[in-house]
């Protein structure tokens, strides 16, 4: 059992209140406490090594991170883990509390020495466990907020890095002395050998970057899931289901059309007629309550109302479907009011839009893009009110998912299997 799945699995097996009881020292739950702390201690070193790899992928650098700072972080984390194990084995309540207090101090040192968003999040999860054990709900809430803020920012950064893999590859090749060749104006790019060799190296580097990000993403996903499970210990609702969707255009059997940039000109790939397809990296969050939460991001639907005077028309909505994309039989317009919150506020500006607000909206041109809204860095709230297109059945009742996108996160109002027309 890995440390980043221990909390989730044990809560699923025993329950949230039982986990809280084990942390606070109920004798009959000693087995649960030993399982929890044993799993944490057993795999903590492997997690620390994994975090260092993930940080390199998030930052896009090849060099090792500062070793002195890394030693401080790991030493503090190890010392805190030892105190947690001592606390779990302690029978006397006072000595148990003292060990938890010592562990909390060590994990605070670890947060100060953390080199990345994810290292901070891991240290904060231990601070939260200590706060729960010491009966300090406010301190537990502070740690929980910090976990959500750090991991959500990392999840968004992963999506941005995936999307910008080509530009990052160009920078890496340039750093290695591989600048783009001068264009041969007498022949198109597909006939230019120097350009083709450079393009192949560029595509290979971008594929490596995207593979690294895809490899790092499960750790972020587990931290998000664990944060949602731990939140229940301080009165938060059950966490939403999180799914990661990665679509790599290069992985399709028939490569899609790709426009090749050539010093300001664009030459289409020869012999291709399919629409341009771009790789995507998307977190999809299915709801479990009136609000849908993804770490620090919360979407609350204030209104969802099918317009009474609008008729169903043929249309296609594919932004939430799994490949191969199937056309939606009919769509109708709906008035949707959504509040998007960042709790805590994030140190990144966020782009917010509704996928059906323009491009798929009935009566709009198909080439229109959804209107983008901005939640500025440090802001906590944005009110969104728009008319969007939604899939409907033969009676005009909504049947599919309504959603709001926040950067690379899709927050869903309905699951596709439980949608209704209300």
Given this model, what pLDDT does residue 133 score? 92
Rounded to 10 deg, the angle between the 117-133 and 30-59 helix axes is: 160
User: Residue 158: is its pLDDT beyond 80?
Assistant: yes
User: Residue 150: is its pLDDT beyond 90?
Assistant: yes
Q: Which residue has the tokens 């790899």?
A: 53
Average pLDDT on 258-278 reads 37
pLDDT in tens, 103-145: 999 999 999 998 888 889 999 999 999 999 999 999 999 999 9
User: Residue 101: is its pLDDT beyond 90?
Assistant: yes
Positive or negative torsion for Cα 252, 411, 384, 373? negative
Of the chain, the percentage scoring pLDDT greater than 90 comes to 28
pLDDT in tens, 216-250: 888 889 899 999 999 999 999 888 889 888 876 54
Nearest-angstrom CA–CA distance, 147 and 111? 11
pLDDT in tens, 161-193: 888 888 888 888 888 888 777 766 565 555 567
Whole-structure pTM value: 0.82
H or E segment to which residue 283 belongs: strand 280-286
Greater model confidence, 275 or 264: 275
How far is the first Cα of the chain from the last one, in angstroms, to the nearest whole number? 43
* 37, 42, 47, 49: CA torsion to nearest 10: 140
Given this model, what pLDDT does residue 269 score? 40
Nearest-angstrom CA–CA distance, 329 and 94? 66
Average pLDDT on 292-318 reads 83
């Amino acid at each position: 059992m890995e440390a980043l799945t221990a909390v989730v699995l044990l809560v699923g097996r025993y329950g949230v209140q039982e986990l809280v009881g084990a942390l606070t020292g109920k004798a009959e739950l000693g087995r649960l406490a030993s399982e929890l702390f044993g799993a944490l201690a057993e795999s903590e070193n492997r997690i620390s090594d994994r975090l260092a790899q993930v940080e390199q992928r998030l930052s896009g650098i090849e060099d090792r991170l500062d070793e002195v700072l890394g030693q401080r972080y790991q030493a503090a984390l190890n010392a805190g883990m030892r105190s947690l194990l001592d606390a779990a084995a302690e029978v006397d309540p006072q000595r148990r509390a003292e060990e938890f207090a010592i562990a909390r101090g060590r994990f605070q040192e670890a947060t100060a020495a953390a080199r990345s968003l994810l290292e901070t999040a891991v240290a904060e999860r231990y601070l939260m466990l200590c706060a729960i054990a010491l009966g300090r709900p406010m301190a537990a809430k502070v740690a929980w907020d910090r976990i959500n803020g750090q991991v959500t920012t990392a999840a968004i950064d992963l999506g941005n890095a995936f999307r910008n893999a080509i530009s990052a590859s160009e920078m890496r090749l340039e750093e290695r002395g591989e600048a783009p060749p001068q264009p041969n104006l007498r022949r198109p790019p597909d006939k230019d050998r120097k350009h083709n060799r450079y393009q192949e190296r560029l595509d290979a580097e971008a594929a490596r970057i995207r593979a690294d990000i895809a490899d790092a993403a499960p750790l972020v996903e587990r931290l998000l899931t664990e944060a949602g499970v731990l939140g229940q210990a301080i009165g938060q609702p059950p966490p939403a289901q999180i799914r990661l969707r990665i679509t790599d255009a290069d992985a399709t059997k028939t490569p899609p059309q790709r426009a090749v940039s050539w010093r300001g000109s664009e030459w289409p790939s020869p012999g291709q007629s399919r629409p341009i397809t771009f790789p995507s990296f998307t977190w999809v969050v299915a709801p479990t309550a009136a609000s849908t939460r993804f770490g620090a991001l919360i979407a609350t639907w204030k209104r969802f109302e099918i317009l009474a005077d609008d008729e169903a028309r043929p249309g296609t909505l594919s932004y939430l479907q799994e490949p191969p994309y199937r056309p939606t039989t009919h769509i109708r317009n709906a008035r949707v009011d959504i509040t998007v919150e960042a709790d805590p506020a994030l140190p990144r500006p966020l782009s917010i839009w509704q996928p059906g607000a323009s491009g798929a909206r009935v009566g709009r041109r198909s080439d229109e893009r959804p209107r983008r809204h901005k939640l500025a860095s440090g802001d906590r709230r944005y009110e969104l009110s728009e008319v969007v297109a939604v899939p409907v059945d033969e009676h005009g009742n909504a049947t599919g998912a309504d959603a709001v996108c926040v950067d690379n996160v899709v927050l869903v109002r309905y699951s596709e299997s439980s949608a209704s027309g209300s």
